């Protein structure tokens, strides 16, 4: 343990503030070293028997940090040990080359270091893709939850949804992907301290999720030469998105060794400023494609309350979905 972080005030839809002890900050050694936060009890059971609580490991998505999961973790930790981790190149974890296999290897190494017996792995976005891939490689998990780790739709499916030919639909998907990549990269442009302070003020003013996003930005920040840069930087963000593109659900899901729940955001998404005209339609098509996938150990459900980041905006909903899934699979 390297530090202890005091508990934040609990939101209205979370567990009581005193339901979980203040989390500990840990580090899983290796290349790269991974920053980890622990909530609840020791996951190393002594003679763990049937009915003992399943540990949960939480992974954030592109550009996030483990802070995004704090409110969900506090709810889950009332009943079970919970861990959240910074992915490589994010937050306080070390840097390493970007690849989806590398992220899965990090996760497997982390689980070994924690000594958690048959854990449930829950990931958002890029972390969700890593969790799903781990479920296709390891039979010693209780299962995995992929929260909005959704691949871009192929041209044929996009053509059906957009009412165009495959070539035109493929162009729309490429435009949407390029827009998303540039927006993510631009959000990591180094800024002076005053500009970063204004960013934190804007996040703080967002409402219920504001403090969580503010804490995540602070955790991601690295200061040097009078500038503040968020990890990963622009090039790292593009490389991380390329790693995300390696996720091929049509190949991963048929190979699952343990149950996987895919939670897909279907809330209304207005067109972002400067986005390609059909960007929201492409995103909805990707969500529909994910919800329609079938495999023996896969189940998929919509999250209608949000268009993105539901673990930040609706932590009780996501915690409830995780607990319901654990009940289904005997955890």
Give the confidence band of 49 by pLDDT, cuts at 50, 70, 90: low
Residue 113, pLDDT score = 95
Residue 5, pLDDT score = 32
All structural domains of the chain: 3-153+236-328 (3.40.50.1820), 160-230 (no CATH)
Could you read off the pLDDT of 92-150 as tens digits, one per residue? 999 999 999 999 999 999 999 999 999 999 999 999 999 999 999 999 999 999 999 99
Could you read off the pLDDT of 225-269 as tens digits, one per residue? 889 999 999 999 999 999 999 999 999 999 999 999 999 999 998
Give the 3-state secondary structure of the chain: CCEECCCCCCCCCCCCCCCCCCCEEEEECCCCCEEEEEECCCCCCCCCCCCCCCCEEEECCCCCCHHHHHHHHHHHCCCCCEEEECCCCCCCCCCCCCCHHHHHHHHHHHHHHHCCCCCEEEEECHHHHHHHHHHCCCCCCCEEEEECCCCCCCHHHHHHHHCCCHHHHHHHHHHHHHHHHHHHHHCCCCEEHHHHHHHHHHHHCCCCCHHHHHHHHHHHEEEECCEEEECCCHHHHHHHHHHHHCCCHHHHHHHCCCCEEEEEECCCCCCCCCCCCCHHHHHHHHHHHHHHCCCCCEEEEEECCCCCCHHHHCHHHHHHHHHHHHHHCCC
Task: Please tell me the pTM assigned to this model.
Answer: 0.91
Write the CA distances from 113 to 27, 83, 91, 137, 185, integer angstroms.
9, 12, 19, 18, 32
What are the residues facing 57 on neighbouring strands?
83, 121
């Amino acid at each position: 343990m390297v530090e202890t972080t005091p508990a934040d005030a609990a939101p209205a839809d979370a567990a009581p503030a005193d339901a979980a002890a203040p989390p500990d900050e840990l580090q899983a050694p290796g290349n790269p070293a991974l920053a980890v936060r622990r909530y609840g009890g020791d996951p190393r059971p002594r003679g763990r028997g049937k009915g003992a609580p399943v540990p949960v490991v939480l992974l954030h998505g592109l550009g996030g940090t483990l802070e995004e999961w704090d409110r969900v973790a506090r709810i889950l930790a009332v009943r079970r040990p919970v861990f959240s981790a910074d992915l490589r190149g994010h937050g306080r974890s070390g840097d390493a080359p970007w690849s989806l296999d590398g992220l899965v290897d990090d996760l497997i190494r982390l689980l070994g270091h924690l000594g958690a017996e048959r854990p449930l792995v829950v990931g958002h976005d890029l972390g969700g893709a890593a969790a799903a891939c781990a479920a296709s490689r390891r039979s010693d998990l209780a299962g995995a939850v992929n929260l909005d780790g959704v691949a871009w739709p192929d041209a044929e499916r996009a053509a059906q949804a957009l009412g165009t030919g495959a070539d035109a639909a493929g162009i729309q998907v490429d435009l949407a992907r390029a827009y998303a990549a540039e927006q993510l990269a631009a959000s990591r442009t180094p800024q002076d301290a005053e500009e970063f302070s204004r960013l934190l003020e804007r996040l703080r003013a967002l409402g219920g999720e504001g403090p969580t996003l503010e804490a995540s930005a602070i955790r991601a920040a690295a200061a040097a030469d009078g500038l503040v840069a968020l990890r990963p930087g622009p090039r790292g963000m593009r490389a991380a998105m390329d790693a995300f593109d390696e996720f091929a659900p049509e190949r991963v899901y048929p190979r699952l060794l343990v149950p996987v729940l895919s939670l897909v955001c279907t809330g209304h998404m207005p067109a972002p400023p400067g986005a390609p005209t059909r960007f929201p339609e492409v995103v909805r098509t990707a969500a529909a494609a994910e919800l329609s996938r079938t495999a023996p150990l896969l189940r998929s459900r919509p999250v209608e309350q949000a268009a993105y980041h539901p673990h930040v905006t609706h932590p009780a909903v996501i915690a409830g979905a995780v607990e319901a899934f654990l009940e289904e699979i005997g955890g």
